[in-house]
Amino acid sequence: MPRRNTFSWSVSRMKEFDFCLRHYYWMRYGSWGGYKADASPEAREAFILKYVTSLSHYVGGIIHHTCARFWRDQQKGRYLSEEKARQNTLRALYAGIGESERGGWRKRVSSGTHLFEHEYGGDLSEKRLARARDRITRSLAGFYALDLVRKTQANGERPQVVSIEKRECFELAGTTVHLVMDLVVQKPDGKRVIWDWKSGDEEEVNEFQGAVYALYGQRAWGLLTDRLRMHLAYLQPQRVQELILTPELLAQTQVQIEASIAAMRARLWDVEENVAHIDDFPMTDDLARCSGCVFKRLCGRE
């Protein structure tokens, strides 16, 4: 049975929609079916470009992968040292750059590393790579300095881990809401703490994302806000922000999600079948946004 392009919602999908309607169209509709042998040239190119990532985003991804590896090892009774974590992440940095440069991603478009800097030309100078290495070093130093992590090293304390980078979902307004929480631990008193690692800058949307995670916790685990904790762990410099969770905040978050879903659906040509037409998703007037957009070639703004 052929795969169906089913409408759903996530924070990343909301960010795409708010960034540029045409970008959102290419990401969620124009690229659909581009993996097929009989795909149109436009759909095929959109499918390829969908998986292009900037060096900055790639670095953030491999840092997250290393943090997840720490907790998976910890669950098996192994300890991943900071130095070993740093070495592994630096190896991943150069392996990804090498794969992108050689075009190895062509054999696995959706999972390979395909850098924006190679696709469109960009700064991969030694100076920029030094900044990437420094970000990795400082982010992992921030991670290992977290009380949660230090306790596992100091006294072998093993928190009760509920999930590690697990894909979850819940239903809202007739729509599946997708999310991936970096780490969830349960305290001895039954309270659950959601952790989200941030190796980049602080953004307002991060708090909204944390509230979405808490809303999931309320619905999936049946926990009231006084039984939930949401921690945003900024790794460089290290700072842990605990969101103040209240019933009012989660109610407001639900309203925001529903409004975002409604705005996305309003652009569809056929809501039931999730069919979109490119003309209903105009390009942004802010040309500055186009400079770093992976789809700028398809929009004639390269």
Q: What is the pLDDT of residues 143-202, one digit of tens each?
A: 999 999 998 876 767 899 999 999 999 999 999 999 999 999 999 999 999 999 999 988
Percent of residues, the chain, with pLDDT higher than 70: 98
Domain count across the chain: 2
84-112: average pLDDT:
97
Are the CB atoms for 171 and 165 separated by under 8 Å?
A: no
- Give pTM, 2 decimals: 0.95
* 33 and 147 co-located in one domain: yes
131-135: average pLDDT:
97
* 149 and 117 co-located in one domain: yes
Domain-located, residue 269: no
Go through 132-142 and write b for each residue having 16 or more CB atoms within 10 A of its CB, e for each that does not: bbebbeebbeb
pLDDT of residue 228: 98
* 94 and 119 co-located in one domain: yes
* 123 and 172 co-located in one domain: no
pLDDT tens per residue, range 68-92? 999 999 999 899 999 999 999 999 9
Percent of residues, the chain, with pLDDT higher than 90: 93
Helices 247-266 + 11-19 axis angle, to 10 = 50
* 183 and 141 co-located in one domain: no
- Lookup result for tokens 């590393």: 113
* 149 and 35 co-located in one domain: yes
For residue 2, is pLDDT > 70?
no
Work out the number of other CB atoms within 10 angstroms of the CB of residue 72: 14
Sequence letter at residue 27: M
Domain-located, residue 248: yes
Domain-located, residue 297: no
Helices 147-154 + 126-144 axis angle, to 10 = 70
Report the C-alpha gap between 64 and 41 in whole angstroms.
Answer: 34
* 73 and 195 co-located in one domain: no
* 140 and 200 co-located in one domain: no
* 125 and 172 co-located in one domain: no
Sequence letter at residue 187: K
131-141: average pLDDT:
98
Domain-located, residue 214: yes
* 107 and 204 co-located in one domain: no
Question: What CATH number corresponds to the domain at position 215?
Answer: 3.90.320.10
Report the C-alpha gap between 149 and 183 in whole angstroms.
Answer: 12
pLDDT of residue 151: 87
Domain-located, residue 168: yes
Report the C-alpha gap between 236 and 21 in whole angstroms.
Answer: 32
Report the C-alpha gap between 93 and 99 in whole angstroms.
Answer: 10
Report the C-alpha gap between 277 and 215 in whole angstroms.
Answer: 32
How confident is residue 1, by pLDDT bands cut at 50, 70 and 90? low
pLDDT tens per residue, range 196-221? 999 998 888 999 999 999 999 999 99
* 30 and 82 co-located in one domain: yes
pLDDT of residue 216: 98
pLDDT of residue 141: 97
Q: Could you tell me the residue range of the domain that residue 48 belongs to?
A: 8-154+286-292
Burial class (CB in 10 A: 0-12, 13-18, 19+), 33: middle
pLDDT of residue 3: 79
Domain-located, residue 271: no
* 117 and 202 co-located in one domain: no
